Amino acid sequence: MQISAPCVVSLSWRLEDAQGQLIDELAEPLEFFYGGDDLFAKVEEAINGQEAGFEAAIALEPEDAFGDYDSGLVCFEAKSLMPENVDVGMQFEGLPEGAATEGMPPDNVYTVTEVYPEHVVLDGNHPLAGIGLRMYLKVRDVREATEEEIEAGSIGEPVFSVVNGAPPGEALH
């Protein structure tokens, strides 16, 4: 079966940064809805019309993947609003209750990037924002999408998302 919207594709991949450093590797195939919200547009473009067994190397600029880094998504919050054991690298969905920062997206995942005696620095950018990526993917299988998948426009929880703060893949949580 050739890949065309709507269908479901099973993919495996190796994801590297522009310097060739491994970011994520999906050895076991994972299903994605083709023609909906599950895949980056550039990935869909590369696999359009292909069949199981197709392999591709795709260069993804930040605008093709997780977007440019936005310094406006970095904020300071009082350390007293955070858990007692707050540490660099911790992530929180949304801002803490009582946050004084206005205009920050409430649904982003915020990563603690610095901890000071009175405040912490929170970054609402996706961890891969602003990074050029190389994706080496293989189409493992193609099948027709079910009515439920077509209606939802997705297989389920997104693995990739251009919305800042959405988790890209298991290895990146």
DSSP string for 113-159: EEE-SSEEEEE-S-TTTT--EEEEEEEEEEEEPPHHHHHHTSSSS-S
| Residue 86 identity | V
Distance CA 76, CA 145 (A): 45
> Whole-prediction pTM value?
0.77
Nearest to residue 158, comparing CAs of 45, 8, 48, 40? Answer: 40
Distance CA 131, CA 90 (A): 21
Distance CA 122, CA 82 (A): 11
- pLDDT value at position 172? 34
Distance of CA 148 to the CA centre of its chain: 23
Per the prediction, the chain carries an average pLDDT of 89
Q: 3-state class of 166 per DSSP?
A: coil
Q: Encode pLDDT of 1-18 as tens digits.
A: 999 999 999 999 999 998
**Domains of the chain by range and CATH?**
7-66+129-168 (3.10.50.40), 71-123 (2.40.10)
- pLDDT value at position 159? 58
| Cβ proximity of 50 and 74 under 8 Å | no
Q: Would you place residue 161 in the very low, low, confident or very high pLDDT band (cuts 50, 70, 90)?
A: very low
